[in-house]
């Protein structure tokens, strides 16, 4: 069956992945046309495309192999976008020129849709001397604020959503400020943060020893390792960041440790990459490979899994040749090493259909066995591709055969590598699959547990009304198709049923057979003690995980894991949106156009303000100012872009009115409609104020905020709202805030 398994799947396809022309008219007639487009594009690099196109097409059928969203949306189109998901940018040179060159490269990468990671450990700490200018350095966090503003600007200009990861070493002198940065909910909104934790640091924590904070060989000060470790844990306990990356383990396990050193990851952490490193992603849908689901002899078809893995690796290897790249350095890096990241999705559903409860030793053992089969099939395929097309350019036989991951493979696979080499330096990774898993019929995401077996989704209709539809997890839907309304089996468990240790056990079982890393969120209850919370990280360290990301519902991030309706009365609707990320622009918006004649200008200004409606409340979304007077062209364009960016961030944006009304023109203002207006910008502010009053966003003149609020508005009890659809059904999955209502993901 290749039809959509649920209405939400077709809606996701039409919204995010269906190829359309510039006017929005569909080019892909149906999902089969999308699969045809992808199969043709990925077979094109082959010597015999006609031979491989049907094989690639068969792998895509029934949502069995799911290329990452950028491939589904971009392959076989003429769009100037990258098909790669993950980039780590070049090493930031510790100079003003180097820093802003890195900023430019980041903007170019985000513009094409790539998520990026940066290690800011190379920037000198705050207070360090800057030679030649008689000044002190402002430190890495000040420049991270610049990156954050750049990313918001790229997003507000209508480009694909940007996502960024910032890392800092645990021995950098500014590490404590980095750890505490997200205590301010308005700061670094476009970044995920992770601390690069080293083996010596963990040993110092265990010994309660001193820990030196060093930059460029100079010890700036000394702290207690355990105090710093507890500060990291406390920050994560209180506001969910920073994450922890065990960077020495990553480098020790890296197949390419002989030619690269890793100091950063992509935004969700599943791809540790060197400077200018790039990786593309794809997932095997395990839920579609279960035979006789829920029967006593239910089992995953391992032979089909191995065959599908081989086809998927060949397809992904071809993406390296078919893709565009934002920067030439990224293309050079990708083609020198030909990294791919094949992972899985639907793991929890597959376990449930096989009668295995997620988190149990039996489920962990099955997970390890399935991923071992994928690893062996992936490496064997890559060896065969090397025999056919040649190994990756930086291949070193002795170094690869000595790599820890390669030494764990089956003997026949190691022999094939020894004989032919590898086409791809690294092959496996488990990435976030939020919207792709929805496309596949709401299968469980990545290796995460089932979040909710069933929930109600509100759907906006063409006439503006909303209807409700029940969305079921894929495994539950299969159970219902087989057994009707009979109570589901005990193997169908959700995130609310699991203990933190069970999450860690599943991540560790998977990590053994994943040569890159894993994007996974370990959800913990709000009432977990701080000591037990710390034990989660120590267990992740002890069991071989390469990193640890937790989520505890709290006052800063909200209770995004709530699936049960609150018994408390719902708060009254407020004219605000959680500033979680700029809202996406719908295809059509309503608004008003106002004309003002500034007495000192020959031509009138025409001000258009468009609104969006959320929870029955209109709020300004964007503004345009037009005039025949070219003297004002540059600043009006800049002004409208900045104001629109503020409008899209959510919250109470009425401060914009007061800021504009307070602008004083030293050449003098003008009298307009019996009032003195100090500048043309103040006149524009007055128009915005009148519009906000007219739509009910402001109660009256002069009642806007006087300053940009330093803290976000009180959030709705259900958690943060989705910036795309306004729904409060936002979940933390695989380190990404993901909307179950429309599929929006903070990570793109």
The whole-number pLDDT of residue 543 equals: 96
Q: What is the pLDDT of residue 98?
A: 94
- Which range is least confidently modeled, 193-197, 292-296, 345-349, 677-681? 677-681
Residue 75 CB neighbour total at 10 angstroms? 25
With a cut of 80, say whether residue 526 has pLDDT above it.
Answer: yes
Residue 52 CA to residue 300 CA, distance in Å, equals 26
Decide: helix, strand or coil at residue 733: strand
- Top CATH class, 279-520: alpha beta
Mean pLDDT for the chain overall: 86
- Which among 266, 285, 376, 523 is annotated as catalytic? 266
What the block records as the tokens of 15 is 């919204």
Out of 147-156, 659-668, 721-730, least confident range: 721-730
Question: Residue 512 pLDDT more than 90?
Answer: yes
pLDDT surpasses 60 at 573: no
Q: Token pair for residue 602?
A: 């020959």
Q: What is the dihedral of CA 311, 312, 316, 321, to 10 degrees?
A: 20
Expressed in angstroms, the distance from the first to the final Cα of the chain is 28
Q: Which of 151, 268, 736, 747 is catalytic?
A: 268
- Percent of the chain whose pLDDT exceeds 90: 59
Task: Determine the average pLDDT of the residues in 540-544.
Answer: 96
Residue 575 has pLDDT above 70, yes or no: no
pLDDT at 474 over 80: yes
20: DSSP letter: B
Q: What share of the chain is helix, strand, coil (3-state, %, to 5)?
A: 40, 20, 40
Q: How far is CA 590 from the centre of its chain?
A: 30
3-state secondary structure of 271: coil
Are 726 and 648 in contact by the 8 Å Cβ rule? The answer is no
Q: Under the phi-then-psi rule, with left for phi > 0, alpha for psi from -120 to 50, and beta for the rest, what region is 607?
A: beta
Task: Give the bridge partners for 611, in sequence order.
Answer: 590, 620
Distance of CA 497 to the CA centre of its chain: 25
Map 104-121 to HEC letters: HHHHHHHHCCCEEEEEHH
**Distance (Å, whole) CA 575 – CA 35:** 42
Q: Is the pLDDT of residue 734 over 70?
A: no
- How far is Cα 68 from Cα 342, in angstroms, rounded to an integer? 10
pLDDT given at position 253: 97
From residue 324, alpha-carbon distances to 80, 257, 321, 557 in Å are: 7, 26, 8, 36
Q: Residue 555 and residue 187: Cα distance in Å, rounded?
A: 16
248-297: per-residue pLDDT in tens? 999 999 999 999 999 999 989 999 999 999 989 999 999 999 999 999 99
Identify whether the C-beta of residue 258 lies closer than 8 Å to the C-beta of residue 392.
Answer: no
Q: What are the residues facing 280 on neighbouring strands?
A: 340
Residue 337, burial from CB neighbour count under 10 angstroms (0-12, 13-18, 19+): buried
Can you spell out the DSSP letters for 537-605? HHHHHHTT-SEE-EE--BTTTB-TT--SPPSSPPPPP-S----SSPPPPPS--EEEEEEE--TTSSS-E
Supply the DSSP string of 273-289, one letter for each residue.
Answer: E-TT-EEEEEEEEGGGG
606 or 171, which is more confident: 171
Q: Which residues contact 58 (CB under 8 A, 6 or more apart)?
A: 311
Q: How far apart are CA 381 and CA 665, in angstroms?
A: 69
Residue by residue, DSSP assigns 607-653 as EEEEEEEETTEEEEEEEEEE-S-GGGHHHHHHHHHHHHHHHHT-S--
531 classed as catalytic: no
266 is catalytic: yes
Backbone angles phi, psi at 438, to 5 degrees: -65, -40
Is the per-residue pLDDT at 61 higher than 90?
A: yes
Q: What is the pLDDT of residues 358-368, one digit of tens each?
A: 999 999 999 99
- What local confidence, expressed as pLDDT, does residue 549 receive? 93
CB-side neighbour CA atoms (13 Å) of 117: 30
Joined together, the tokens standing for residue 197 give 């934790």
Q: Which residue has the higher pLDDT, 55 or 81?
A: 55
State how far Cα 290 lies from the chain centre. Answer: 29
Alpha-carbon torsion 392, 397, 399, 402, what sign?
positive
CA dist 254 and 480 (Å) reads 44
Asked if residue 317 lies in contact with residue 340, where contact means CB atoms within 8 angstroms, the answer is: yes
Burial 536-552 (b: 16+ CB within 10 A, else e): bbbbbbeeebbbbbbbb
Q: Which of 136-140, 313-317, 386-390 has the lowest mean pLDDT?
A: 136-140
pLDDT at 264: 95
Average pLDDT over every residue of 11-30: 91
The predicted model gives 68-82 an average pLDDT of: 88
Q: What is the pLDDT of residue 518?
A: 95
User: Which residue in 334, 278, 337, 271 sits closest to 515, CA to CA?
Assistant: 271
Phi/psi class of residue 685: alpha, beta or left (left: φ > 0; alpha: ψ in -120 to 50)? alpha
Q: Tens digits of per-residue pLDDT, 434-463?
A: 889 999 999 999 999 998 898 877 666 666
Residue 146 vs residues 152, 191, 735: alpha-carbon distances, Å = 10, 11, 23
Bigger pLDDT: 554 vs 572: 554
Interatomic CA distance for residues 506 and 499, integer angstroms: 11
* Rounded Cα gap, residues 599 and 603, in angstroms: 9
In contact, 204 and 211? CB cutoff 8 Å? yes
Structural tokens at position 488:
């589901």
* Catalytic-role residue among 105, 270, 502, 689: 270
Q: Which H/E stretch holds residue 472?
A: strand 466-472
- The confidence score (pLDDT) of residue 336 equals 97
Nearest in space to 510 (alpha carbons), one of 428, 628, 427, 452: 428
Residue 743 has pLDDT above 70, yes or no: no
Contacts of 368 (CB under 8 A, 6+ apart): 509, 510, 512, 513
Could you tell me which of 48, 66, 65, 58 has the C-alpha nearest to residue 389?
Answer: 48
Domain positions in the chain are: 86-253, 279-520, 590-694
Of 628, 630, 627, 624, which is closest to residue 605 (Cα–Cα)?
A: 627
Question: Per this entry, what is the length of the chain?
Answer: 748
Mean pLDDT, residues 396-421: 98
Mean pLDDT to the nearest integer, 475-485: 95
Establish whether 318 is a catalytic residue. Answer: no
Does the CA dihedral 193-199-200-204 come out positive or negative? Answer: positive
DSSP letters, 298-354, are: -EE-HHHHHHHHHHHHHHHHHHHHH-B-SSHHHHHHHHHH--EEEEEE-HHHHHHHT
């Amino acid at each position: 069956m290749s039809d959509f398994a649920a209405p939400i799947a077709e809606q996701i396809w039409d919204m995010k992945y269906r190829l359309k022309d510039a006017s929005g008219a569909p080019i892909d007639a149906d999902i089969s046309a999308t699969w045809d487009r992808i199969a043709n594009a990925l077979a094109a690099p082959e010597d015999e495309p006609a031979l491989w196109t049907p094989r690639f097409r068969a792998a895509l059928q029934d949502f069995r192999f799911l290329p990452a969203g950028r491939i589904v949306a971009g392959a076989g189109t003429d769009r100037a976008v990258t098909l790669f998901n993950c980039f780590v940018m070049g090493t930031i040179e510790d100079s003003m020129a180097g820093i802003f060159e890195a900023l430019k490269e980041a903007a170019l990468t985000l513009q094409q849709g790539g998520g990026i990671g940066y290690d800011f450990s190379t920037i000198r700490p705050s207070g360090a001397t800057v030679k030649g200018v008689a000044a002190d350095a402002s430190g890495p966090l000040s420049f991270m604020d610049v990156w954050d503003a750049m990313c918001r600007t790229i997003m507000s200009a209508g480009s694909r959503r940007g996502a960024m990861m910032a890392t800092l070493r645990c021995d950098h002198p500014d590490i404590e400020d980095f750890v505490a940065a997200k205590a301010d909910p308005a700061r670094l909104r476009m970044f995920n943060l992770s601390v690069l934790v080293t083996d010596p640091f963990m040993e110092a924590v265990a010994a309660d020893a001193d820990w030196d904070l060093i930059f460029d060989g100079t010890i700036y000060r000394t702290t207690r390792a355990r105090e710093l470790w507890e500060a990291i844990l406390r920050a994560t306990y209180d506001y969910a960041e920073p994450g922890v990356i065990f960077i020495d383990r990553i480098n020790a396990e890296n197949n390419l440790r002989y030619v690269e050193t890793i100091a950063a990851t992509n935004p969700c952490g599943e791809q540790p990459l060197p400077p200018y490193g790039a990786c593309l992603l794809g997932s095997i849908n395990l839920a579609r490979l279960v035979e006789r689901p829920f029967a006593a002899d239910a089992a995953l078809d391992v032979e089909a899994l191995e065959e599908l893995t081989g086809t998927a690796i060949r397809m992904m290897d071809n993406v390296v040749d078919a893709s565009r790249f934002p920067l030439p350095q990224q293309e050079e890096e990708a083609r020198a090493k030909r990294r791919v990241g094949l992972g899985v999705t639907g793991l929890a559903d597959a376990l449930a259909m096989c009668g295995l409860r997620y988190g149990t030793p039996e489920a962990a053992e099955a997970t390890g066995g399935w991923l071992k089969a994928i690893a062996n099939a992936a490496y064997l395929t890559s060896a065969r591709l090397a025999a056919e097309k040649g190994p990756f350019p930086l291949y070193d036989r002795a170094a690869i055969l000595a790599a820890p991951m390669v030494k764990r493979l089956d003997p026949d696979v190691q022999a094939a590598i020894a004989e032919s080499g590898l086409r791809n330096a690294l092959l496996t990774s488990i990435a976030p699959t939020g919207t792709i898993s929805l496309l596949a019929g709401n299968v469980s995401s990545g290796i995460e547990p089932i979040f909710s077996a069933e929930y109600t989704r509100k759907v906006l209709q063409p006439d503006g009304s909303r209807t409700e539809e029940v969305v079921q997890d894929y495994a539950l839907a299969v159970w219902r198709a087989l057994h009707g309304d009979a109570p589901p089996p005990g193997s169908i468990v959700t995130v609310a049923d699991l203990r933190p240790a069970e999450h860690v056990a599943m991540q560790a079982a998977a990590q053994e057979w994943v040569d890159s890393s894993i994007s996974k969120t370990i959800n913990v209850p709000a009432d977990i003690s701080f000591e037990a919370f710390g034990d989660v990280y120590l267990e992740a360290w002890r069991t071989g995980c390469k990193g640890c990301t937790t989520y505890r519902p709290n006052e800063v991030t909200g209770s995004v894991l709530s699936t049960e309706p609150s018994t408390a009365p719902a708060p009254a609707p407020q004219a605000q949106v959680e500033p979680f990320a700029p809202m996406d622009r719908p295809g059509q918006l309503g608004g008003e156009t106002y004309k003002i004649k500034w007495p000192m200008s020959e031509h009138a200004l025409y001000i258009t303000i468009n609104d969006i409606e959320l929870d029955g409340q209109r709020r300004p979304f964007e503004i345009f100012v037009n005039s025949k007077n070219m003297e004002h062209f540059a600043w009006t364009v800049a002004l409208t872009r900045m104001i629109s960016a503020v409008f899209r961030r959510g919250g109470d944006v009425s401060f914009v009115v007061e800021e504009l009304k307070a602008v004083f023109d030293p050449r003098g203002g003008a009298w307009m409609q019996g009032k003195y207006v100090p500048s043309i910008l103040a006149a524009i502010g007055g128009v915005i104020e009148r519009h906000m009053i007219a739509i009910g966003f402001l109660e009256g003149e002069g009642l806007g905020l006087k300053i940009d609020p330093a803290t976000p508005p009180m959030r709705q009890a259900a958690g943060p709202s989705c910036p795309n659809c306004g729904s409060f059904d936002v979940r933390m999955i695989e380190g990404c805030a993901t909307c179950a209502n429309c599929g929006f993901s903070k990570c793109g």
